[in-house]
Amino acid sequence: MLSASCGDDDPPGAPLLPAGDASVTPPPPDPSDAGPITNIDARVPMREAGSITSPPPPPDASAREDGSVLGFMDAARVGVALRLLTYNVAGLPEGISSSHPEHNSALISPLLNGYDIALLQEDFSYHPQIVGASQHPYVSPPYTGGNSLGDGLSFLSGFAYSDFQRDAWLDCNGVLDSGSDCLTPKGFTFARFRIGEASVDIYDLHTDAGSAVGDQTARAANLRQLAAAIGARSLGRAVIVAGDINARYTRAGDTVAELVDAAQLTDAWIELENKGQRPATGATVMCSADDPNDPACERIDKFFYRSGGGVTLHPREYTVEGAKFVDEKGAQLSDHRPVSVIFDVFKD
């Protein structure tokens, strides 16, 4: 059975309000030229600047088919197979969230260990439970912007990073309506990761939700702001962008294609699952209504990338991970199904 819309619907989302000046800043220095890595989670010791060796694997880690160790890849190889996950964990307070984060967050945590970097959205009220079973040695610093729930963006990583920044969107729509996106400071994060011998800039984002005209106007402004930041901070560099973009190529009024073109990105789903063809506005993307994890569906949780700066990124595998992230009764742990991509990362 085929359906035109078996991907996750746009959820009410985690609402947010611009906080402070989110204007684009000059490109941060390359970590190979920097001093000690800063902004590393206090739970683990900082490593020497410029180190490109992988963190040691956890003691109970099991071997993968490619010979690497579960959780963190062997960075001594010339090419590194990098497993990334993007996941909206629906972490608004229980009763407000459209999921059950009070129960589910602790179940999500150990499942994140199967990925070298997990990029999360709506990680609001249950962050201790989300990271509680993590074996990743690096966690993004907490949000420190005031009394709000924060921007909900976080990551867990097996690789060291530097130059971490948070940016709030300058535009949002809705305070007590239209997804209430102006109640918290939604936006994007930036960090520069050392993946083996390669340096890669990674952005995690969560845009304005909803399909009303005001939502789409704010979301288009969000994506323009992101494209400008990529142009300023990551000029000529390898980039991965992932997150809950709340937009589709096929929906009139959405501007995914404009972001891709402006930042010179490639969509991993298009390349691996849609025969390299960008869906036209209003087009029907057919996928199985019997399989909610069908990778043929266009989803609002996306991965984009580009090579640059002497680093080649090659996406190898795209997976909708809904079958893995379930509770003891087989129900989803969030109102989104996580998406993963394996990138081969090569230093040219």
Q: Is residue 62 part of a domain?
A: no
**Over the stretch 153-174, which tens digit does the pLDDT of each residue have?**
999 999 999 999 999 999 999 7
**Closest Cα to residue 71, out of 87, 54, 86, 88?**
54
φ/ψ (deg, to 5) at 143: -70, 135
Distance, in Å, from the CA atom of 322 to the CA atom of 337, rounded to the nearest integer, reads: 5
- Residue 69 located in a structural domain: no
For 227, the enclosing helix (H) or strand (E) is helix 213-233
Q: What is the pLDDT of residue 286?
A: 83
Residue 61: inside a domain, yes or no?
no
Residue 7, classed as helix, strand or coil, is coil
Predicted confidence at residue 19, as pLDDT, reads 32
d(CA 24, CA 170): 11
pLDDT reported for residue 64: 43
Domain hosting residue 322, numbered range: 2-18+77-347
Residue 32 lies in a domain: no
Residue 27 resides in a domain: no
Number of domains in the chain: 1
Task: State the Cα–Cα distance between residues 254 and 280, nearest whole angstrom.
Answer: 11
**One-letter amino acid for residue 123 of the chain:** D
182: its two tokens? 């102006």
pLDDT value of residue 325: 98
CATH number, domain at 115? 3.60.10.10
Give one word for 272, left, alpha or beta, with left for phi > 0 and alpha for psi -120 to 50: alpha
Residue corresponding to tokens 């999360």: 120
- The rounded distance, in Å, linking the Cα atoms of 86 and 72 is 17
Q: How far apart are CA 81 and CA 163, in angstroms?
A: 23
3 state SS of 104: helix
Q: Are 204 and 189 in contact (CB under 8 A)?
A: yes
Task: Decide if 112 contacts 131 (C-beta within 8 A).
Answer: no
Give the containing element (helix H, strand E) for 154: strand 154-157
Q: What is the pLDDT of residue 236?
A: 98
Q: Is residue 71 a contact partner of residue 58, using CB atoms and an 8 Å limit?
A: yes
Whole-model pTM? 0.81
pLDDT for the residue numbered 180: 72
Which pLDDT score is estimated for 179? Answer: 64
Q: Assess if residue 184 is contained within a domain.
A: yes
Q: Is residue 54 part of a domain?
A: no
Residue 22: count other Cβ atoms within 10 Å of its Cβ. 18
Q: Is residue 186 one of the residues assigned to a domain?
A: yes
User: Which residues lie across from 118 on neighbouring strands?
Assistant: 85, 156
Residues in the chain with pLDDT values less than 70:
1-78, 147, 176-179
